[in-house]
Structure 1
Amino acid sequence: MENKRPLILVSNDDGIMAKGISELVKFLRTLGEIVVMAPDAPRSGSASALTVTQPVHYKLVKQEVGVTVYKCSGTPTDCIKLAWNTVLDRKPDLVVGGINHGDNSATNVHYSGTMGVVIEGCLNGVPSIGFSLCNHDMGADFEAAGPYIRKIAAMVLEKGLPPLTCLNVNFPDTPDIKGIKVCEQAKGCWTNEWEVCPRQNDRNYFWLTGEFADHEPENEKNDHWALANGYVAITPTKVDLTAYDFIDELNQWIEENEE
């Protein structure tokens, strides 16, 4: 690896063959030395899952000036852990997940393997960004996102991010992006989540599906509104899940119970 350039570690949850990760590497190449360690097949919805019941294997796929690519039998989080402990010769300057085929706004951040990549980087003290496009098509057009990806990644390489804070960046599916909005996570939940998929006359098989119900559709501060209105949505995301604002009240409950 070229030690004078920033080292960027890249992974995804759509798998090594997905168009999104190839486009991401293309957009980031000018910013540093890139190492890709991505799942050997799609792992969508794996969040921060780890493989603990069997060994994990990786294999070199391609090596050229500025880019080294590996595939891994594990989850997106496995990929980051394995790359960190086996193939990297130094701590990366940036961890990037994506570009995901499909958005990871609102509560999707909790389920996303793309954000599992980002959270793992963040937990290890590395500035980390997840990029997603609101289009599930495997042939989706990522070109409009390219300049924004380079700009955001370069900004984070220069300035860093606060401890235990990462960026969840989602792109609207349009060639005419209006600009960037820094957003809060949309509040809502998934509904109608299962579709019957009978097999051998057994109706107890289901496909996961669903519709997201936005509880604040008119809230112009949230990521859903930004995406629906043609803006790039950047949501700064904390990985420390402690409810600090509830600690004093919970302590009071405990004290009252002990009296």
Structure 2
Amino acid sequence: MTDPAPSTSSNDDPTGSDLPVVLVTNDDGIRSRGLQAVVECLAPLARVIVIAPDRNRSGVSRSITLGAMLQVIEDDVPGAEAAFATDGTPADCVRLAMLGLAGPRPVLVVSGANNGLNVGDDVAYSGTVSAAFDAAMNGLPAIAVSQQSTARELGYPRTKDFDHRAMQAFLPGLVQHMLDDLERLPDGLVVNVNVPGIAPEELTGVEVGTLGRRIYRDKLELKQSQGDRHHYLLYGDDPEHHVDETDTDIAAIARSAIAVTPLRFEVHDEQSTAELESWNLGAMIR
């Protein structure tokens, strides 16, 4: 199979469909059941294109591929108009879509559904959320959606059991609302959605809140040594500890509600500008 060539026009529409184009990507890989569940529920209301990593790329944040070619392989995801797997990162997937790999430029990006929650501090490391950030920074509204395991694990799931029915009951309505209101959406908007690992009938509702505060119990553990070569385990896997606040995404999940948090990638600290100006930085040049 030969690698596909990008469309020469972002407005090409070989299907003749009037439905909007939505990109679905993730960081768990194109074979992820979570991605397939998203495509299934969005196919009736959009022309869904899939560009996703060819393997698990969890925790890569907004990393991109520099100085190397990206391999892209045509794939098939039921319900998707076109599907491609790449050895790139989730952020690469968004750029490929925006540059016309699958034809028309998408009007909305949905990243997920992630295997496991992306709440609190997780958003800084998550490839799922970072794909949404990359879309928003390039002018596309985006949704990052993450699914808790049925074991209700707060951290990286040890189990592989996920029930996507609650996500599928909610996500199409959110996507349709955003598609209907594209002109009024705030620039740079990312909607972070976390779904508890329960059946739809057990949901207590949908809560809009802030990011919680995770407390990972990291430790440096030497696992193996041979000469000058050492292997360490660094990152802990016990994130069940968190700051207990009532209006956060973590608290919403604990209340069996879908947690929705608006995010924006803005790293400039406006409040500290005056403080740094008072440091007489020019005098520090030696």
- Whether the TM-score (by the shorter chain) exceeds 0.5 is yes
TM-aligned CA distance change 1:133 to 1:66, over 3 Å: closer
> In structure 1, the residue corresponding to 2:168 is in which secondary structure?
helix
Q: 1:233 to 1:196 in 2, by over 3 A?
A: farther
Other structure's SS at 1:37 match: strand
Kindly provide the amino acid, as one letter, of the partner of residue 162 in structure 1: P
Measure, in 1, the Cα distance between the counterparts of 2:220 and 2:238.
Answer: 10
SS of alignment partner, residue 120 of structure 1? helix
Gaps of 5+ in 2: 1-12, 150-156
In structure 1, C-alpha distance between the alignment counterparts of 2:219 and 2:188, rounded to whole Å: 31
Name the CA distance, whole Å, in 2 between partners of 1:66 and 1:46: 25
1:53-85 per-residue CA deviation (whole Å, 9 max, x = no partner) reads 531111111287752111111111111112222
Unaligned 5+ residue runs, structure 1? Answer: none
> Which amino acid in structure 1 is aligned with residue 141 of structure 2?
P
% identity of equivalent residues: 27
Structure 1 or 2, whichever has the larger Rg, is 2
**Secondary structure in 2 matching 1:198:** strand
Once the two structures are TM-superposed, the CA of residue 154 in structure 1 deviates from its matched residue by: 1.2
Partner of 1:37: 51
In structure 2, what is the equivalent of residue 149 of structure 1?
A: 171
CA RMSD of aligned residues (A): 2.5
Deviation at 1:193, TM superposition (A): 4.8
Residue 200 to residue 86, structure 1, CA distance change in 2 (3 Å): farther
Within the alignment, does 1:101 sit opposite 2:115 as a pair? Answer: yes
Counterparts of 2:260 and 2:21, CA distance in 1: 23
Selected match of 1:246 from 247, 254, 272? 272
Alignment of 1:1-259 (within 5 A): 1=13, 2=15, 3-62=17-76, 67-135=81-149, 136=157, 137-160=159-182, 161-175=185-199, 176-193=202-219, 196-198=222-224, 204-206=231-233, 208-212=235-239, 216-217=243-244, 219-254=245-280
Deviation at 1:28, TM superposition (A): 0.8
SS in 2 for 1:116: helix
Distance 1:255 1:69, change over 3 A: closer
In structure 2, the residue corresponding to 1:191 is in which secondary structure?
Answer: coil
- CA distance in 2 between partners of 1:71 and 1:204 (Å): 32
- CA deviations on 1:119-162 (whole Å, 9 max, x unpaired) are 11101111100000112344411012111111111111122331
Structure 1 residues 186, 64: closer, same or farther in 2, change over 3 A? closer
In 2, the alpha carbon distance for the partners of 1:64 and 1:171 equals 23
Aligned-residue offset at 1:47: 0.7
Between 104-113 and 205-214, report the one with greater CA deviation.
205-214
TM-score (norm 1): 0.89
Answer yes or no: is the 8 Å Cα contact 2:22–2:109 preserved in 1: yes
- 1:250 is displaced (CA, Å) by 3.0
